[in-house]
Structure 1
């Protein structure tokens, strides 16, 4: 994995998702951020993103744990593209453990205060092109 400071930022966000601390999770997003909820459905702005995470948690029966696989960070100026494996551990309809692996893409922007904020959260990566 990358040693870029965004690794720690994303790990902290993943811990908030796993703990279902969606209020604290919003600290990782820019006010104008967009979350790709699923192909064809986006949430824009912190209020919509927070509601989307509540719905996503319910969809996975409040049994999801998010973790990272391999990560690459490409930084240019105050913007960074993160390409990484996102792993969602959950249970299926029968209660069996399941791991869903996605090759995600994220765009971060550094604020004037020097904090990295997610502006595009896209866990489906290039698989959007498959549909």
Structure 2
């Protein structure tokens, strides 16, 4: 019998990202800010970034308004690639919301996130790019 589990445990970032998604969905922006480094960058939309927690908070407030305060964020598959105190997360990010006309809408993105491990072992997001590699296509 092998002395190791047959399947690796999920990376701790799975739980961190799930908690951040719940905070975004709940519009608990104080909680959302606890997931970011002070100098983090959020890709708001292609060509528009928010840097630093003050700008990121304002961006999330505007995003909530844009999605009629109905945005639900969840993750599908996550791949975590860790190197030293940095981790790249490639994720299937699902967005669901209610449009102004009451119709339900959804989108799935291939997001990329960069996290930094802190001295206490916790992980904070330094780059939040829910558009992932689609940013390359928006530049063409």
What TM-score results when the alignment is normalised by the length of structure 2? 0.90
Compute the RMSD of aligned alpha carbons. Answer: 1.0
Q: Name which of 65, 78, 81 aligns with 1:71.
A: 78
Other structure's SS at 2:119 match: coil
Q: Name which of 86, 99, 108 aligns with 1:92.
A: 99
* Cα distance in 1, alignment partners of residues 14 and 66 from structure 2: 27
Structure 2, unaligned runs of 5 or more: 1-8
What TM-score results when the alignment is normalised by the length of structure 1? 0.96
Other structure's SS at 1:125 match: coil
Partner of 1:32: 39
Structure 1, unaligned runs of 5 or more: none
Structure 1 moving runs of 4+ over 3 Å: none
Kept in 1, the 8 Å contact 2:68–2:99? The answer is no
Task: Provide, for residues 34-70 of structure 1, a one-character-per-residue CA deviation record: whole Å limited to 9, x for no partner.
Answer: 0000000000000000000000000000011000111
Partner of 1:114: 121
* Cα distance in 2, alignment partners of residues 4 and 25 from structure 1: 20
Q: How many residues align?
A: 130
Q: Larger C-alpha radius of gyration, 1 or 2? A: 2
Matching of residues 48-59 of structure 1 within 5 Å: 48-59=55-66
